[in-house]
Amino acid sequence: MTRVAVIDADKCKVKKCNQLCVSFCPMVRSRVEAIRVEGNKAIISERLCSGCGICVKKCPFQAISIVNLPDELEKDCSHRFSANSFKLFRLPTPSQGMVLGLLGQNGIGKTTTLKVLSGELKPNLGRYENPPEWDEIIQYYRGSTLQEYFQRMSQNNLKVAHKPQYVDKIPKVISGKVGELLEKVDERKILNKLAADLELTKIWDRPLDVLSGGELQRVAVAAALSREADVYLFDEPSSYLDVKQRLQVAKAIRSLKLEQKTIIVAEHDLAIIDYLSDQICIFYGQPGVYGVVSHVHGVRTGINIYLQGYIPDENMLFRREAIIFHEKPPAAGANAGEPLLRWGRIEKTFEGFKLVAEPGEIRRGEIIGIMGPNGIGKTTFVKILAGLEEADDKPKLGALTVSYKPQYIAADYEGTVQELLIGVAKENFTSSWYKTEILQPLKLNLLLDRNVMELSGGELQKVAIAACLSRKADLLLLDEPSAYLDVEERLNMARTLRRVVEAHNVPAFVVEHDVVAQDFIADRLMVFSGEPGMKGVANSPTSLRKGMNAFLKELNITFRRDSATRRPRVNKEGSKMDTFQKEIGEYYYMRLKQE
């Protein structure tokens, strides 16, 4: 292992600190320039840096960190953007007729990998100053399937269809109606089937700029599937989709196997990537610094390895603690106090849609999860509680102070993350509790000096969650807090929310489509049913077991538990386990013998 310092170029402000990292570096004092300044940035030589850590302590902007780079991987560097910037080691090896899933943290190289395999980025093998030509790249990957892959790419003989990560940006570059745009790319002549399978007929005549995130996602997936290509790449295809839509999209993507296509999917929803994939590549390393692509594993083995944090065939421990799942749901309301809010029957009528919410209550220190299809009124119900929408009979829900994190987040704050959070948290921002319970679990201490408008989707999501939890409020409302977060970040978000709710004895409503994340978060569930886009019924809060059974029964989906990690896995429809669980009425939690 080589121990070196790396610099986050976005945080480095050498003119504001009098170049402290350079002046204190012992190697510079020895007339060996391990650190030098070029323009407005400091550059560290990985060959000369001894990893002493002095520059890390002296940097006032937390721009420098010490990392261990495996020596043996240096020869496997696939791409590097610039000096002291992100390095990607290895590339996954795709196979025809197989769905390869990419699993790892945000900022670890999955999107970079998809851009390389799509041809948007030409792999430079780490030589950013003197990038190699195609002949050298092809020679470098000789003996692997990537040799032929890049050979065909260099000859413009490889057609790739790529579904990008951030679908909300699509209307900024493409305009027009859904049907007209999809008909232009229907090279496989399957658009009628896709429109039915992905429920696109209702939005066929709508322009892109009025679509919701879930509708844009399904349109983007349909556009990629409609193209005639050799390779299909999907970057987080489940974002903004409800559970039913996620499985519909997964089935549509898997149908490409019948034509022996090469399919690669980067996904954070464990249940969906398990259901979708035949093989798994794990990405590990340090986000924003370097990422390493593991060898290919079977789907069950690969996901379990990721959860356990140890790769046996590489003898690599990349996480100190395993991610653990619990089979039995928590006792509903075990730590909850007296009711904080009671509501009677609520009705809200729009043109063409009506929401009816049955009476219910939420207690102090309790988290109620909200689940249901898209377009069923979940966000409308939360907005009524937040005071942003008014019900038909204008009921008074009490004089409560509410902190609300909306579904769609706009980076419209001109300032740094630290300035934003100080403005929300006030004097609590400097407390040790705030640092240990909010900043550190959400890993925001590394983003404090960043401008909010420069953040990625996942970073912006974590800042929005922190801002919601920082306000002094009687009630917390979070709408889809796991969007764009990776598996570990979703677990950290759930734990952080739980600690804030318990510490301040405040209740929370959480709208969430990830079944596994909702299992971590909720004490009780509100299940929304009805006809999406026409009528929604918000049922009264019920226990986690009853809520999950009611929700999944309506979708005709059952989950089983992995024997090693106890993680939820989707049963194949009509399988022995699927039939058995439906017969006994247990769609998610299998009753234990002692019960």
Task: Give domain limits for the chain.
Answer: 2-69, 166-228, 339-543, 556-595
Q: Is 352 helix (H, G, I), strand (E, B) or coil?
A: coil
Q: What is the pTM of this model?
A: 0.82
Predicted pLDDT of residue 33: 72
Beta bridge partners of residue 151, listed in sequence order: none
Query: Residue 100 CA to chain centroid, in angstroms?
Result: 18
Strand 542-543 with 99-104, pairing? unpaired
Angstrom CA distances, 530 to 316, 373, 552, stand at: 48, 9, 14
List the pLDDT tens digit at each of the 595 positions of the chain.
566 677 776 677 776 777 778 777 877 666 667 787 776 677 777 667 777 878 887 787 777 877 665 555 667 899 998 877 788 999 999 999 999 999 999 889 999 999 999 999 999 998 988 999 999 999 999 999 999 999 999 999 999 999 998 887 888 888 899 999 999 999 999 999 999 999 999 899 999 988 888 889 999 999 999 999 999 999 999 988 988 899 999 999 999 999 999 999 999 999 899 999 999 999 998 888 889 999 999 999 999 999 999 999 888 888 888 887 776 554 444 556 788 888 989 999 998 899 999 999 999 999 999 999 888 999 999 999 998 888 888 776 667 899 999 987 877 788 899 999 999 999 999 999 999 999 999 989 878 888 888 888 888 999 999 999 999 999 999 999 988 898 889 988 998 999 999 889 999 999 998 888 888 889 999 999 998 888 999 999 999 889 999 999 988 899 888 888 888 888 888 899 999 999 999 998 765 433 3
Q: Say which CATH superfamily domain 339-543 falls into.
A: P-loop containing nucleotide triphosphate hydrolases (3.40.50.300)
Residue with tokens 């937390």: 62
Residue type, 483: A
Predicted pLDDT of residue 576: 92
Predicted pLDDT of residue 322: 85
The tokens describing 270, both together, are 């464990």
pLDDT in tens, 387-431: 888 888 877 666 789 999 998 787 778 889 999 999 999 999 999
- Cβ-in-10-Å burial (0-12, 13-18, 19+) of 116 comes to buried
The CATH number of domain 2-69, selected from 3.30.70.20, 3.40.50.300, 3.90.1150.10, 3.40.50.740: 3.30.70.20
Predicted pLDDT of residue 327: 65
Tell me the DSSP string of 516-528: HHHHHH-SEEEEE
Predicted pLDDT of residue 449: 85
Q: Which of 534, 471, 557 is nearest to 506 (CA)?
A: 471
The rounded distance, in Å, linking the Cα atoms of 394 and 102 is 48
Strand 41-44 with 35-38, pairing? antiparallel
Beta bridge partners of residue 570, listed in sequence order: 559
